[in-house]
Structure 1
Amino acid sequence: MSQAQPVSNVLLVEVPPQFIALCHASGVSPQSTLRGMAAMLCGLRYDEDNRLLPLDAPASR
């Protein structure tokens, strides 16, 4: 019987250099941009404390 592989949330993605340049010109990292896009696709967003919340959750103060 084989053992289950641990689940990883790390993904290696090839992106065009224009994406990297646009992120840098906008003052955001490519990593945080992709994390935010993935969260939005799942109906989530990151708050100021880097916690995932539903998109419709009220903003924390």
Structure 2
Amino acid sequence: MSKPKPQFQPSNVLIVEVPPQFITLCETSGASPQAALRGMAAMLCGLRYDADDRLVPLDGPTA
């Protein structure tokens, strides 16, 4: 059985210059730079990604 496709569908491309320390932090934590930046952007909007890769409010239920 295949995993359902994530809800996130990129509609715009943004090129961002990040310091090398950010890349090192991502490599150390095992997160991709894209996932780390998506997570930070979601937190700024009061959101987070749940286990099914859906955006939910920060204070919403955990799954």
Common topology (TM > 0.5):
yes
RMSD: 1.0
Percent identity reads 75
2-side partners of 1:9 and 1:45: how far apart? Answer: 20
Q: TM-score scaled by structure 1?
A: 0.79
Query: Which residue pairs with 1:22 in the alignment?
Result: 25
Match of 1:45, SS state, is: strand
Match of 2:61, SS state, is: coil
Q: What is the total number of aligned residue pairs between the two structures?
A: 53
Match of residue 50, structure 1, among 49, 53, 60: 53
Stretches of structure 2 lacking an aligned partner (at least 5 in a row): 1-10
Deviation of 1:10 after TM superposition, in Å, equals: 2.5
1-side partners of 2:56 and 2:18: how far apart? Answer: 27
Q: Which amino acid aligns with 2:16?
A: V
Stretches of structure 1 lacking an aligned partner (at least 5 in a row): 1-7
1:30-56 Cα offsets, whole Å, 9 max, x none, are 110010000000000001111000111
Question: Between Structure 1 and Structure 2, whose CA radius of gyration is higher?
Answer: 1
- Relative contact order higher in (CA < 8 Å, ≥ 6 apart): 2
Q: TM-score scaled by structure 2?
A: 0.77
